[in-house]
Structure 1
Amino acid sequence: MREKKKTYEEVVKESPVTYELYANMIDDGNRYEISDGVLELMSPSPTTTHQMICYKMLFRLETSCENEFIIVPSPIDVILSNTEVRQPDIVMIHRSRISIISNRGVNGAPDLVVEITSVHSRKRDKVKKRTVYAKYGVPEYWIVDLSNFTLEQYTLDGDRYELIEVYAEDDTISSKTVPCASFSMNEIVQSLPVHPDMLE
């Protein structure tokens, strides 16, 4: 007999919340992550600026990197363990590791994750997710900060991230993990159809 799907209220009471419970929830239109066995409701819908920046970054990465990497935007489940499931804004997986991609999501650590942070998600992205992605062995982590249009580049050193560079304005992003990536934050911002300063 097929198990009845559960609501958010029913699942959140489980301890720990597993991927199986999460995957069999009733779809209520919200997005969730599992943080160390705890179901967390994600921030409100992304802002227009967030979505435009994400799209333009995705376009740049696909243009230069799609021969070497599978590039997937959110929403996509990155299943780091049965009790740790995240939804980064962009994930990149080298084509030599295509076996970690399945219909349900990415099973294990991608080569690169990108989080585009906002007022609502800054602490989660810069503290909690940074710790989690390092723990599960994601080689490189980018945090794009919309408050100043910078890109913080972290690479794995043992089980912790080291801040390698902060890219701003016309600095060209350079990555040993993703050597095909080459753009500046000014190129991204100036390519937007509506400049963020024009939005309320």
Structure 2
Amino acid sequence: MKTIEKKTIADYEALPEGSPYQLIEGELVMSPALGFEHFRSSKKLFVRLYRLLEETKKGEVIYAPVDLYLDDENAYQPDIMVILKGSRARITGRGVYGPPDVIVEILSPSTAYYDMKVKKRVYERAGVREYWLVDPIDRSFEIYVNTEEGFKLYSSAVRSGTVRSEILNTELDLEEVFEEV
């Protein structure tokens, strides 16, 4: 039986700049181009979080594509990262090292498995404080808070209503997130 050699951060960094890959548990996984619904939801959430953090001066919001390095076998480009003042995450010229306080992943059919299962476990293990899963097709939004027992669903809504972020002390209206122009 042939074994697949695990890849590391060194292998990931050796890829040509702009390569459409993420390093997920030692495997290089291609990330295809994003659909318009993904883009629209991501943009609206980024703008909302940017305004919130500018107003409160609590931290910084980072928009993909920026590399996030969690360990030697995991380098991602989350859709959105929030790094609050005093965070364990470090921002450098190469990307972000260590767990951001909030990670937002907008689901796409080709990446949903990784976002909902594999990356969720890695984010939990790394110490990400809140993990947001946003599905622009089903118009659903889930916020998980990292507790001593791991990620627990804290707030969710489908198609309408609001979700609440404990860490950012804010609510988000689904109609605004998924609003079509």
In the superposition, the TM-score normalised over structure 1's length comes to: 0.80
Matches for 1:138-153 after TM superposition, within 5 Å: 138-153=128-143
2:27 to 38, 46, 64: 38
* Deviation (angstroms), 1:98: 7.8
SS in 1 for 2:165: coil
Matching residue within 161, 167, 173 for 1:177: 167
Question: What SS is found at the alignment partner of 1:51?
Answer: helix
- Report the AA paired with residue 107 of structure 2: T
CA drift of 1:148 comes to 1.8
SS of aligned partner of 2:39: helix
Query: Structure 2: how far apart are the matches of 1:183 and 1:80?
Result: 28
Residue identity over aligned pairs, in percent, reads: 27
Equivalent residue number for residue 48 of structure 2: 60
Q: What is the RMSD computed on CA atoms of the aligned residues? A: 2.0
Aligned to 1:3: none
Distance in 1 separating the partners of 2:117 and 2:10: 26
Deviation at 1:30, TM superposition (A): 3.3
Contact kept, 8 Å, 1:153 with 1:164, in 2: the verdict is yes
The equivalences for 1:95-174 within 5 A come to: 95-97=85-87, 100-158=90-148, 160-174=150-164
Q: Confirm or deny: 8 A CA contact 1:154 1:165 kept in the other structure.
A: yes
C-alpha displacement at 1:26, in angstroms?
2.4
Q: Deviations over 1:3-25 (max 9, x none)?
A: xxxxxxxxxx9943221221122
The ranges of structure 1 where at least 4 consecutive aligned residues each deviate by more than 6 angstroms after the TM superposition are none
Distance 1:123 1:22 in 2: 21
Question: Which amino acid is the alignment partner of residue 29 of structure 2?
Answer: E
Q: Give 2:175's aligned residue.
A: 186
Instruction: Confirm whether residue 81 of structure 1 aligns to residue 93 of structure 2.
Output: no
SS at match of 1:39: strand
Q: Given residue 36 of structure 1, which amino acid in structure 2 is its aligned partner? A: E
Corresponding residue pairs, total: 177
- SS of aligned partner of 2:164: coil
Deviations 1:118-157 (A, max 9, x none): 2212211111111111111111100001222111111112
Amino acid corresponding to residue 136 of structure 2 in structure 1: L
In the other structure, the counterpart of 1:5 is: none
Structure 2 counterpart SS, 1:151: strand
Aligned to 1:196: none
Residue 159 (structure 1) shift: 5.3
CA contact (8 A) 2:80 2:104 kept: yes
Instruction: Give the C-alpha shift of residue 102 in structure 1.
Output: 0.6
Query: 2:13 corresponds to which residue?
Result: 23
Q: Contact between 1:169 and 1:184, CA under 8 Å: does it hold in 2?
A: no
Q: Unaligned regions of 5+ residues in structure 2, if any?
A: none
With the length of structure 2 as denominator, give the TM-score of the two structures. 0.88
Whether the 8 Å contact between 2:58 and 2:84 is mirrored in structure 1 is yes
